[in-house]
Amino acid sequence: MDLDSWMRERRELVESVLLDTVADGFPKPFDGALKYPLQTGGKRIRPILTLAAFELCAPTADRRCALPAALAVELIHTYSLVHDDLPAMDDDDERRGKPTVHRAYDVATAILVGDALLTQAFQLLTDAEAGSDAVRIRLISELAQAAGYRGMVGGQAMDILGGREVTDLNELTTLHRCKTGALIRAAVRMGAIAAEADANMLAALTTYAECAGLAFQLADDVLDADEDEESDSAPSFVRLLGVQGTQQKAESLIRNAKDALREIDGTEGLYALADFIVTRGE
Ligand code: IPE
Ligand code: IPE
Ligand code: MG
C-alpha cells in the first residue's frame, strides 16, 4: 500500500474543511489568530486515524460522515499545542518551524485562540448532521473525557506541575497515556462510534489505539532527545530507558497494536499508520 498517497488523500480532505470550522467572521486580528495554528501544517495524524477507523467499521459509507469527529479531535489537538507553547507552560517560540501563536500575536490572544478552538470542537459535534442523537452524545462524551482532567489536561497537569519529579516508569506511562494517549484513543474510538461499530470492533480498536497512542509519545521522546535541550529536565522515556530502549518499547507497542486487529479485514491503513508512528520524522 502507498501510505503517502493514502495519508495525503485523507489529510487533504481534512484540510479542505478545517478552516471552515472557524469561519464565522470574527473581528480582526482575532480572526487571523484563530486560523493561524490551523494553517501551519501538522501531520493530521489524529483526524486521519478517525477517518481510518470509520472506514474500517463502515467500508461502504461515505467517509465524510466521520469529518465532524475528525475535525473536532484536530481542533482539540491544536488548542492543546497553542496553550502548551505559552510562556507559563513550555514557553516555546516556534512550532512546526513557525512562530507560536503568542509570538505571532500575543499571550492573551493565544489563550483566547485555545479557548475558542476547544469550545468549537464541541459545537462541531453538536451540529453534525449525519448520525443519530445517541451517536452525537457518545461522541461528545468520548471527546470530553479524553480532553479533560481525566485525559489530556490531567496529563499536562502531571507533566507541567509535577513532571520534573517523575522518575518512575509506571508513573511516566500514566502521564503519557493521559497527555497524549487519551486523545489518540478518542480519535480512533470516535471513528468507530460514528460508524456505529459493534462492541467487539470497538474493543479491538481501543486496544490498537491505546498501544499506538503510547508508542506515539515514546517516538516523540526519541525525536525530542535528538534536538531538544528541554529533554534534560522534562520527564521522558529516553531519560529512563535510553534512546534504544525507548525505540524498542515503541516498536513492541506497535506490534501489540497491529495484533489487536489481526482478525479483522481491511486494516492496511491502520497498520501503515501504526508503522508511521514509530518511523516518522518531526
Ligand atoms: C505533537 O503532536 C505533540 C504531542 C502530542 C507529542 P503531533 O506530532 O501530532 O503534532 P503535529 O500536529 O503533527 O504538529
Ligand atoms: C504537547 O506536549 C501538548 C500535549 C501533548 C497536550 P509536549 O510538550 O510533550 O510536545 P511538544 O514537544 O511541545 O510538541
Ligand atoms: Mg511542549
pTM: 0.95
84 lines ligand 2 (CB under 6 A): yes
96 lines ligand 1 (CB under 6 A): yes
Set of cell numbers at residue 95? 512550532
190 in Cβ contact with 139 (< 8 Å): yes
Candidate of 160, 188, 220, 231 to mutate for ligand 1, largest count of ligand atoms within 8 Å of Cβ = 220
156 lines ligand 2 (CB under 6 A): yes
**What tens-digit pLDDT sequence spans the chain (282 residues)?**
788 899 999 999 999 999 999 988 778 889 999 999 999 999 999 999 999 999 999 999 999 999 999 999 999 999 999 999 999 999 999 999 999 999 999 999 999 999 999 999 999 999 988 889 999 999 999 999 999 999 999 999 998 887 566 678 898 999 999 999 999 999 999 999 999 999 999 999 999 999 999 999 999 989 888 665 554 566 788 988 999 999 999 999 999 999 999 999 999 999 999 999 988 776
Distance 167 CA to ligand 3 centre (A): 19
Instruction: Return the pLDDT at 231.
Output: 47
Instruction: Return the pLDDT at 36.
Output: 97
Instruction: Return the pLDDT at 101.
Output: 98
Cα distance between residue 1 and residue 12, in whole Å: 18
Neighbours of ion ligand 3 (CB under 5 A): 84, 90
3: Cβ contacts below 8 Å, ≥ 6 apart: 272, 273, 275, 276
Candidate of 39, 71, 73, 77 to mutate for ligand 1, largest count of ligand atoms within 8 Å of Cβ = 77
